[in-house]
Amino acid sequence: MRIASVASAMPKWYYSQQKIFETLCQHWKDKLDKPDVLERLHQRVSVERRHLAYPIDEYASIATWGDANNRWIKAAVDLGERAITGALERAGRKKEEIGAIIIVSVTGISAPSLDAKLSNVMDLPLDMRRTPIFGLGCVAGAAGIGQAADYVRAYPDRIAVLLSVELCSLTWQRMDLSVANMIASGLFADGSAAVVVAGDQVESKGPEIIGHKSSFYRNTEHLMGWDISEEGFQIVLSPEVPDAIHKHFPHDVDSFLAEYGMKRADIGTWIMHTGGPKVLDASAEALGLPREAFAPSWDSLRNNGNMSSTSVLLVLEDYILNRRPAVGTYSILAAMGPGFCSELVLLRW
């Protein structure tokens, strides 16, 4: 099983953190007593620029959750088509070869699901297996690779496509001045990425998927997720997240590697989800790694923000296109998300 390709697709609207901060200050001018608090929170998330699904001036006119979700569907179909097309081209495969498609998102909903809409728009195979997944959040990019790997393990002559579309800006609560929402307004962004995973009988030169592992931390659901109401998705983001990482993540990694007779020292590169500065710092500290071990993730956070499930796929794309490790190098691809939980994928280049 191999990752044959990764391709991202971004909205054309790309704004500086300062521009987004100024726009939010204008929107909250009658409610924001201390703009310096918002500015400080936006500066601390280490984001310089972000993509938004729509022109920034249009967001003030989004009055209902229904309107936001309809906009999500429209943008998600466009970005999804572009990402899948790009990934197939890079893999040298045709859409007719797709045996399964897995769609992950936590920022919008659709029934028929997004995979069905893309099937019509792209004329995808009528007998392809469709698996839409909602609710895994940031962890879903890594989890989706595992799902795709399981499919091609069973059908080694086929390919599976994973698509992540996250339009976080359409979930912003514009009447909520909680610290969690202000942090979210400075951290999260919009984008999409698709991964082509190929079975052993399909020619591919991408990194081999050795295995994957899921870890769930019982009774930690208060750490991250959504509270859903008439207003839509309201962020749940606890300051306890770094503590959970320190408590659980090293054991997750060590027990996973032990299954293959390996240790942390055997890992040449770490492909980490860009959850934010505290998540990246806590992950490095917990694993006993220098901050520089996650340099590509820090770069992605600075240039793209946190795109939930899409983020770790952007880091993977960067490695494949620009930082490809030497042949034989082992990598851990990792993400954490609501549950609280982690997903790990072991790769060999």
Q: Convert the pLDDT of each residue in 26-58 to its tens digit.
A: 877 777 777 778 888 888 999 999 999 999 999
Residues β-bridged to residue 275: none
The tokens describing 253, both together, are: 């990694």
On average, the pLDDT of the chain sits at 94
Q: Is the CB of residue 304 less than 8 Å from the CB of residue 311?
A: yes
Q: Convert the pLDDT of each residue in 177-230 to its tens digit.
A: 788 888 888 999 999 999 999 999 999 989 999 999 999 999 999 998 888 888
What is the predicted pLDDT for the residue at 229? 83
CA distance 36 to 17: 14
Type of residue numbered 160: A
Q: Which fold has domain 208-348?
A: Peroxisomal Thiolase; Chain A, domain 1 (3.40.47)
Q: pTM of the full predicted structure?
A: 0.94
Residues of the chain with CATH 3.40.47.10: 2-198, 208-348
Residue 25 annotated in active site: no
CA distance 132 to 112: 10
Shortest CA distance to 307 belongs to which of 336, 274, 278?
A: 274
Band (pLDDT 50/70/90 cuts) for residue 347 is very high
CA distance 295 to 199: 31
* Alpha-carbon distances of 111 from 69, 70, 72, 74, rounded to whole Å: 12, 11, 13, 13
Q: Convert the pLDDT of each residue in 121-144 to its tens digit.
A: 999 999 999 999 999 999 999 999
Q: What pairing do the DSSP bridges indicate for beta strands 224-229 and 232-237?
A: antiparallel
* Phi, psi (degrees; rounded to nearest 5) at 181: -70, -35
Task: Give 238's contacts (C-beta < 8 A, 6+ positions apart).
Answer: 222, 223, 224
Q: Is the CB of residue 5 less than 8 Å from the CB of residue 236?
A: no
As a dihedral over the C-alpha atoms of residue 292, residue 296, residue 299, residue 301, rounded to 10 degrees, the angle is -100
Q: Is the CB of residue 335 less than 8 Å from the CB of residue 139?
A: yes
What is the predicted pLDDT for the residue at 180? 86
Question: 25, 138, 168, 341: which one is catalytic?
Answer: 138
Homologous superfamily in CATH for domain 2-198: Thiolase/Chalcone synthase (3.40.47.10)
The tokens describing 3, both together, are: 């990752």
Task: Give 218's contacts (C-beta < 8 A, 6+ positions apart).
Answer: none
Q: Is the CB of residue 77 less than 8 Å from the CB of residue 119?
A: no
What is the predicted pLDDT for the residue at 63? 86
Please state, for a pLDDT cut of 70, what percent of the chain lies above it: 99
CB atoms within 10 A of CB 49: 16
What is the predicted pLDDT for the residue at 175? 77
Q: Convert the pLDDT of each residue in 325-340 to its tens digit.
A: 999 999 999 999 999 9
